[in-house]
Chains A and B, each alone.
Chain A
Amino acid sequence: MTGSDDMRCPQSDNVAPFVLGALEHDAIDPFVEHLGTCASCRAEYDELQATATMLPLAVEQRDPPPEMKQRLMAVVRSEAELLRAAGPDADRVTVKPEGRRWWARLTERPLATALSGAGAAAAVVLVVVALAGGGSDTRTIQAQVLIPKANAQVEVNGGSGTLVASGMPSPSGGHVYAIWTQRANEKPRFAGTLGATPSKGSARATLNLDGVRQVMVSVEPADVGSAPTTEPVVTAQLT
């Protein structure tokens, strides 16, 4: 089918850009759907994908710096230990991002946190929402934090509030902690950035919480986009 141009599906022109990762973002979801129903495109996909997967072999092989493994395995061992401590029912990732990247369907299940940097080991933490009186009209909500030794809470007072975080390591170069607020039936909205917290003390960010059901913090590039690209390292459920 794929060898006969006059029988080709009109959408088959997208197969090659798709397997190269070069299809326009907006075209990806519709094309993935199409692949599920078009045998012709699927056959061409299988053929071209097999070739595309060999392209990494064409690059010069380099020895990675040793610290790369040390950094990664420090995080992995920390998480494995916490998993064991949490028991067999513990799940590794408790929060899914609002959107899934297109390729996640083909290559992996829920995306992971893009934390990097020494000591930035993520932990699996059960969601604990503690309501505590911080004043007559203020309630303090403990956030779920995936960074060991870090702590975060949201102090809610009417339609506004403050995110207070401590023990957060500096994100790796070029990244920031981005704060997101999410209202019912809406996607997360960017609400500012949270500075790295000093070794003693805390970082604070004032937020408009009117109608907000969830506050999140994720590690993002300095030019923060319109939606989170990594899983949150801090999540506070307000309702």
Chain B
Amino acid sequence: MRLRATSHRREAPSPATGGLRDLADEDLIRLAQSGDENAFEVVYDRHERAAYSLAYRMMGAQAPAQDVVQEAFLSLWRSGSHHDGSRGSVRTWILAVVHHRAIDALRRTTRHDSKIVDDEGLQERIEAPDRTDVEAIEREQSREVRAALEALPIEQRRVITLGYFGGFTHTEIAQILDAPIGTVKGRMRLGLQKMRGELIGIAGGTS
């Protein structure tokens, strides 16, 4: 059994989850897939903040962000989804589900185009008061990713931001920016490649 150094727990844990909190995410996911709600709760506790933060960034308000997170975690719980460790960490996997749920939610609502999606949010500070090593590492990674995104030429940063956080399609982005579709696709690719170069040290996704 692998051990995990810490968790992102914010709420009081259930007594039943005590020993589970030492397990790695991958082990907990396996237990959750067999119907162990306490294992699922520990996974939720570890990743709810990141999931909610991403959903809030995309949806722009608390209530729809909560709906997205709830839908995402319930889908993981109910589907018995299989986590493929070769394709990234459990956190990466969970955040991908949250991201796609948010995109679905954005695209089926009419308020899609009214949401503010630009670069200003990237200037916001992370205020988490956590002191654990793992959280310190994650804050540093977060700072590096923000720096890599902010370092992009504005036209590359904009298409990535509109696409990933805004839920806009490349065609919509081309209309918003009055740019050819091919140009938008090219900027996305160049921007991601440039970020990859900046982030090569933490490549492999979120942990």
List A residues at the B interface (Cβ < 8 Å): 13-17, 19-25, 47-48, 50-66, 68-69, 71-73, 75-77, 79-80, 83-84, 92-93, 101, 103, 106-116, 122, 172-174, 221, 223, 225, 229-230
Contact = CB atoms under 8 A, between A and B. Distances in A.
Contacts of B92: 53
Given A57-B142, A62-B52, A112 B185 contact: no
Given A53-B95, A64-B48, A80 B160 contact: no
Contact of A109 (B36, B80, B164): B80
Contact of A50 (B100, B146, B205): B205
A17 B78 contact: no
Interface in B142-194: 142, 145-146, 149, 160, 162-165, 167-171, 173, 182, 184-186, 188-189, 191-193
A72 B55 CA distance: 16
B77 A59 contact: no
10 A-B pairs with the lowest CB-CB distances in the bound complex, closest first: A22-B163, A16-B188, A64-B52, A112-B75, A112-B78, A80-B37, A16-B189, A60-B124, A20-B163, A53-B205
Given A57-B138, A64-B69, A20 B79 contact: no
Contacts of A73: 37, 41, 44
Contact of A61 (B41, B53, B182, B189): B53
B131 interface: no
Given A58-B149, A111-B79, A68 B70 contact: yes
Contacts of A23: 169-170
A223 B195 contact: no
Contact of B163 (A21, A58, A92): A21
A110 B63 contact: no
A52 B188 CA distance: 11
B159 to A, nearest CB: 8
Nearest to B204: A50
Nearest to A60: B124
B104 interface: yes
A24 B95 CA distance: 21
A110 B193 CA distance: 33
B129 to A, nearest CB: 10
B134 interface: no
A26 B9 CA distance: 40
Interface centre among A16, A52, A61, A172 (most CB of B within 10 A): A61
B84 to A, nearest CB: 9
Contact of A107 (B53, B96, B189): B96
B28 interface: no
Given A13-B186, A109-B81, A112-B77, A21 B103 contact: yes
A107 B63 contact: no
B99 to A, nearest CB: 6
A25 B169 contact: yes
Contact of B108 (A47, A66, A225): A225
B206 A57 contact: yes
Contacts of A53: 88, 92, 95-96, 205-206
23 contacts: A20-B163, A22-B163, A22-B169, A47-B193, A51-B199, A52-B164, A53-B95, A56-B50, A58-B149, A60-B57, A60-B126, A63-B52, A69-B45, A72-B70, A79-B78, A80-B37, A108-B81, A111-B79, A112-B71, A112-B74, A112-B75, A114-B71, A122-B74
A69 to B, nearest CB: 5
Contact of B206 (A20, A56, A69, A75): A56
A21 to B, nearest CB: 5
A116 B70 contact: yes
Interface in B109-142: 109-110, 121-122, 124-128, 138, 141-142
A17 B170 contact: yes
Contact of B170 (A24, A75, A80): A24
Given A21-B100, A71-B70, A50 B196 contact: yes
B189 A59 contact: no
Contacts of A80: 35-37
